[in-house]
């Protein structure tokens, strides 16, 4: 009912009094262009505060502005990868740039004027004006299909460009777009190869790294050194194409408004006269009726993940290979499937977000959806699918338990079975006896896509953190799908972890929590609470699986622990009272985000007084851009803030949402939504986190929609007793 707010422009960037681009619902720090779920190829349009924010002319933007033409030199490091993407247009014989910053000879074609920008959960739209003659709608869509594994398994995005006359006259228009070979490898010295095909009316430029290195076996980084890229469009009679050196190909278009349909077969290093893969369309005389051109960009890998599962190391195929017998069949399907991308996911996410938290909350969730899904990849087969997740930017770990945990709200909300597909590889590896410790593994490997486990036990231990995470996540999945068989299947390991929690959760040793960038700490209040809720969750798991003696035992321990926890955790004589960061440290405090698990699981276990107390307390320690994670510094985590907001009183919830939405509009950061930032300056916190899937946690309020009901039929998860 509030959906129309979505299209109201809320933010305006005034550029020295020049014409301004409007932003709806906000001007974000970076824009998803192609949310391709091989992390490291996630496209962002970076900008720093006060800088230009146009799809064209990215000259001033930072090194991780990925939407630009070829850059000299070797791009190194996970976030420095450049993936050149360029758009030109000719209107009545004059050339303009609408994407990137192509230099042809000494010439930079004039930029089109960008008049507005809008994002929704699936799409980023730029509206351009070309000297009052024609308008362009440049829309990037990365479909999200949580319940449709076939579509969700495809690693591809759409770019749709619509051109129409705006002055009543008709204009001669030719449209051009290319990608560079930079997409195939992060190292510009690598040799690229390419070819061109037309299959059933879909024209594709295919490009790949000549020396393929499956699973990044040659070196580990956040990119991906194997597989094929397909840049495609409709093979209509108006289409011409070319591969070749960037200035030659772009120069041909500027000169002729079309391309010679030739292919360069001099395969060479990516930066050696940067090869580009180009399409030109003669749109002829464009009048008021909009003319649409559709492109797709696809990454196709037959094998996706190396996995140390029940039977030792195996190669897991990409899930799309179960549905399509070739790369090109998949590319053709995606291209022709565009009509099914109807915005209904945008609509559902918007309606639910507005109902749960208003426009500020929608500003947050709609910027997070593609990023969360961009950090995961469907693999395996239709009878045994897996969902693999990459940590991104903090490091390249695969299937990190304490990165899955913050991310689960978006999956629990949009399709809980995806959570099972995330958990399965972790259970499989450990139940096969491939991890020697009594607590849960931290991750399945240091470098995505090698889920080779830690058979020697050498890893970053987070004992209480990961045991609690696994038990809570498993129960949350089973509750929403009534899959108690899953609980029985994994009962032994879950019970082992719960046993560890009985030993270590109430008085946690010196150890890391998920917030390892804050250092180790003994007696962590929030960590202990996770462990204790984990024990109560295990009581519930025992009950659901008919292990009644265990259920009684775990419930008794949990009840005893939560009483003793309150005695050590609550600083009663503070004004207002609050929990501490570590027991006995009454000058400390922190976000008590693990309390959310109690609501997520509908346990009704932690007394309401704790919720009320924290909810009253947070506004008293809020900074400009949010509430600090804890008293060690001014940094916060947006995912944990959203967890806390979801279980706070209406006014505290509103405060959290409005401060984070305000951060989106004003942060000087220029990378894809960092979840770690300074609450006073809005700048990066310790380390430049970016593009991490943990932003799935921004859907915390929505994951409560599916929380179990109590005996009276009331959803315990969403009820807040202020």
Ligand X SMILES: *[C@@H]1O[C@H](CO)[C@@H](O)[C@H](O)[C@H]1NC(C)=O
Who's near 262: CB < 8 A, 6+ residues apart? 242, 243, 244
Cβ at position 6, least distance to ligand X in Å: 11
Cβ at position 162, least distance to ligand X in Å: 6
CA nearest neighbour of 410 among 79, 7, 705: 705
Cβ at position 157, least distance to ligand X in Å: 13
CB 87 within 8 A of CB 81: no
Range in contact with ligand X (rule: CB under 6 A) among 16-24, 33-41, 365-373, 445-453: 16-24
Nearer residue to ligand X within complex by CB, 296 or 430: 296
Say whether residue 8 binds ligand X (CB under 6 A).
no
Q: Say how far apart CA 438 and CA 253 lie, in whole Å.
A: 64
CB 159 within 8 A of CB 332: no
Say whether residue 371 binds ligand X (CB under 6 A).
no
136-165 binders of ligand X (CB under 6 A): 137, 139, 160, 162
Nearer residue to ligand X within complex by CB, 48 or 705: 48
Nearer residue to ligand X within complex by CB, 135 or 363: 135
What percentage of the chain's residues is helix, strand, coil (to nearest 5)? 35, 25, 40
Nearer residue to ligand X within complex by CB, 507 or 705: 507
Say whether residue 15 binds ligand X (CB under 6 A).
yes
Helix (H) / strand (E) element for 111: namely strand 110-111
CB 409 within 8 A of CB 593: no
Say whether residue 54 binds ligand X (CB under 6 A).
yes
Q: Say how far apart CA 441 and CA 430 lie, in whole Å.
A: 8
Cβ at position 346, least distance to ligand X in Å: 9
What phi, psi does 414 have (nearest 5°)? -95, -30
CA nearest neighbour of 82 among 249, 223, 227, 246: 223
Peptide bond preceding 29: is omega within 30 degrees of 0, i.e. cis?
A: no
Say whether residue 529 binds ligand X (CB under 6 A).
no
Say whether residue 507 binds ligand X (CB under 6 A).
yes
Say whether residue 76 binds ligand X (CB under 6 A).
no
CB 588 within 8 A of CB 580: yes
Range in contact with ligand X (rule: CB under 6 A) among 18-26, 348-356, 465-473, 689-697: 18-26
Say whether residue 522 binds ligand X (CB under 6 A).
yes
CB 561 within 8 A of CB 535: yes
Range in contact with ligand X (rule: CB under 6 A) among 15-23, 68-76, 186-194, 701-709: 15-23
Place of tokens 């041909």: 252
Range in contact with ligand X (rule: CB under 6 A) among 14-22, 222-230, 316-324, 471-479: 14-22
Nearer residue to ligand X within complex by CB, 584 or 721: 584
Cβ at position 10, least distance to ligand X in Å: 15
Cβ at position 423, least distance to ligand X in Å: 32
Who's near 391: CB < 8 A, 6+ residues apart? 397, 398, 400, 403, 443, 448, 692, 693
Q: Please identify which residue in 194, 583, 596, 673 interacts with ligand X, judged by CB under 6 A.
A: 583
Nearer residue to ligand X within complex by CB, 1 or 18: 18
Q: Please identify which residue in 235, 568, 574, 705 interacts with ligand X, judged by CB under 6 A.
A: 568
Q: Please identify which residue in 1, 14, 18, 712 interacts with ligand X, judged by CB under 6 A.
A: 18
Q: Say how far apart CA 62 and CA 268 lie, in whole Å.
A: 27
DSSP state, residue 167 = S
CB 43 within 8 A of CB 67: yes
Say whether residue 545 binds ligand X (CB under 6 A).
no
Cβ at position 507, least distance to ligand X in Å: 5
CB 232 within 8 A of CB 203: yes
Q: Say how far apart CA 456 and CA 315 lie, in whole Å.
A: 21
107-126 binders of ligand X (CB under 6 A): 111, 113-115, 125
Q: Contact positions toward ligand X, by CB under 6 A?
A: 15, 18-19, 21, 52, 54, 57, 111, 113-115, 125, 127, 137, 139, 160, 162, 507, 522-523, 568, 583-584
């Amino acid at each position: 009912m509030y959906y129309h707010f979505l299209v109201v422009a809320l933010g305006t960037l005034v550029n020295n009094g020049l014409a301004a681009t409007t932003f709806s619902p906000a001007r974000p720090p970076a824009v998803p262009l192609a949310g391709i779920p091989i992390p490291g190829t996630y496209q962002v349009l970076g900008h720093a505060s006060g800088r230009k924010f146009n799809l064209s002319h990215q000259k001033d933007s930072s090194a991780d502005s990925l939407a630009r033409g070829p850059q000299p030199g070797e791009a190194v490091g996970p976030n420095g990868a450049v993936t050149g993407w360029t758009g030109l247009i000719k209107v009545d014989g004059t050339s303009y740039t609408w994407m990137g910053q192509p230099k042809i000879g000494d010439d930079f074609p004039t930029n089109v004027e960008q008049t507005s920008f809008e994002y929704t959960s699936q799409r980023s739209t730029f509206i351009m004006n070309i000297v009052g003659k024609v308008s362009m709608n440049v829309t990037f869509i990365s479909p999200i299909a949580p319940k449709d594994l076939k579509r969700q398994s495809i690693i591809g995005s759409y770019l749709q460009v619509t051109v129409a006359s705006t002055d009543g006259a008709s204009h001669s228009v030719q449209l051009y777009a290319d990608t560079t070979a930079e997409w195939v490898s992060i190292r510009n010295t690598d040799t690229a190869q390419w070819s061109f095909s037309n299959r059933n009316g879909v024209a594709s430029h295919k490009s790949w790294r000549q020396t393929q290195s499956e699973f990044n076996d040659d070196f580990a980084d956040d990119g991906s050194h194997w597989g094929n890229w397909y840049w495609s469009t409709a093979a209509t009679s108006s289409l011409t194409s070319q591969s070749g050196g960037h200035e030659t190909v772009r120069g041909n278009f500027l000169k002729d408004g079309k391309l010679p349909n030739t292919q360069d077969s001099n395969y060479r290093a990516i930066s050696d006269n940067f090869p580009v893969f180009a399409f030109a369309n003669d749109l002829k005389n464009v009048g008021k009726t909009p003319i649409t051109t559709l492109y797709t960009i696809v990454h196709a890998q037959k094998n996706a993940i190396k996995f140390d599962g029940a039977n030792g190391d195996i190669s897991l195929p990409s899930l799309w290979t179960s549905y399509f017998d070739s790369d090109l069949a998949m590319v053709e399907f995606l291209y022709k499937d565009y009509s099914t991308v109807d915005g209904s996911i945008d609509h559902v996410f918007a309606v639910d977000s507005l109902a749960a938290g208003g426009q500020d909350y929608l500003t947050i969730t709609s910027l997070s959806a593609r990023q969360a899904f961009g950090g995961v990849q469907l693999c395996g087969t239709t009878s045994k699918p897996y969902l693999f997740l990459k940590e991104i930017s903090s490091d390249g770990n695969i299937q990190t338990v304490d990165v899955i945990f913050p991310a689960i709200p978006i999956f629990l909300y949009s399709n809980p079975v995806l959570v099972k597909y995330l958990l399965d590889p972790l259970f499989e590896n450990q139940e096969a006896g491939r991890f020697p410790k009594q607590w849960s593994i931290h991750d399945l490997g240091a470098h995505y896509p090698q889920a080779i486990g830690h058979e020697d036990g050498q890893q970053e231990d987070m004992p209480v953190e990961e045991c609690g995470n696994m038990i809570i996540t498993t129960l949350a999945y089973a509750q929403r799908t009534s899959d108690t068989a899953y609980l029985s299947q994994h009962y032994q390991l879950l019970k082992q972890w719960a046993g560890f929690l009985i030993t270590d959760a109430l008085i946690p040793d010196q150890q890391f929590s998920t917030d390892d960038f804050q250092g180790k700490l003994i007696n962590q209040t929030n960590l202990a609470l996770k462990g204790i809720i984990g024990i109560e969750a295990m009581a519930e798991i025992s009950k659901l699986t008919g292990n009644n003696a265990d259920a009684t035992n775990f419930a008794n321990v949990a009840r005893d622990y939560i009483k003793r926890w309150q005695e050590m955790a609550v600083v009663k004589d503070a004004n207002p009272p609050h929990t501490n960061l570590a027991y006995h440290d009454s000058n400390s405090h922190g976000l008590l985000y693990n309390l959310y698990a109690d609501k997520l699981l509908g346990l009704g276990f932690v007394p309401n007084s704790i919720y009320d107390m924290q909810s009253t307390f947070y506004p008293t320690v809020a900074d400009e851009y949010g509430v600090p994670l804890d008293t060690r510094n001014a940094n916060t985590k947006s995912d944990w803030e959203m967890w806390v907001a979801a279980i706070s009183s209406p006014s505290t919830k509103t405060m959290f949402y409005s401060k984070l939405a305000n951060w989106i509009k004003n942060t000087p950061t220029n990378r894809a939504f960092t979840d770690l930032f300074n609450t006073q300056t809005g700048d990066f916190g310790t380390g430049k986190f970016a593009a991490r899937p943990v932003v799935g946690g921004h859907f915390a309020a929505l994951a409560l929609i599916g929380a179990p009901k109590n005996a009276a039929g009331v959803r315990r998860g969403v009820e807040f007793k202020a």
